[in-house]
Homo-oligomer: A and B are copies of this chain.
Amino acid sequence: MGYPLITSRKNPLVREAAQLGASAQARQGRRRFLCEGARLCQDAARSGVGIDTCFFTASAGKKYGGYLKDVLAVCGQAYEVEGHVAALLSGTKSSQGIFCVCRWPGALQEGVVGFAPLWNCLVMENLQDPGNLGTVLRTAEALGVGRVFLLGDCCDPLSPKALRASMGAAFRVGLVREPSAGHLAQMLKGHGYALHAAVPDSGARRVTGVDFGDGPHAVFIGNEGAGLRPETCELCHDRVTIPMAGRAESLNAAAAATILLWEMQRGAEGRER
List residues of A whose CB falls within 8 A of some B CB. 131, 135, 138-139, 141-144, 165, 167, 169, 172, 208, 242-247, 250-252, 254-255, 258-259, 262, 265-266, 269
User: Within 8 Å CB of A142, what residues of B?
Assistant: 244-247, 250-251, 255
List residues of chain B with CB within 8 A of the CB of A255.
135, 138-139, 142, 254, 258
Per the bound structure, the CA–CA distance linking A208 and B266 in Å amounts to 8
Q: Is the CB of B135 within 8 A of A252?
A: yes
- How far, in whole Å, are A262 and B139 apart by their CA atoms in the complex? 15
Knowing A135-B252, A252-B135, A266-B208 are in contact, say whether A141-B258 is a contact too (CB < 8 A).
Answer: no
Additional A-B contacts beyond A141-B250, A245-B265 (19; CB < 8 A): A135-B255, A138-B251, A138-B255, A139-B252, A139-B255, A142-B246, A142-B250, A142-B255, A143-B245, A165-B252, A169-B250, A208-B266, A208-B269, A242-B262, A254-B254, A255-B258, A258-B258, A259-B262, A262-B262
Looking at chain A's contact residues, the main secondary structure is: helix
CB neighbours (8 Å) of A251 from chain B are 138-139, 142
Nearest CB of chain B from residue A137's CB, rounded to whole Å: 10
Cα(A244)–Cα(B252), bound, Å: 22
Q: With a CB–CB cut-off of 8 A, which chain B residues contact A252?
A: 135, 138-139, 165, 167
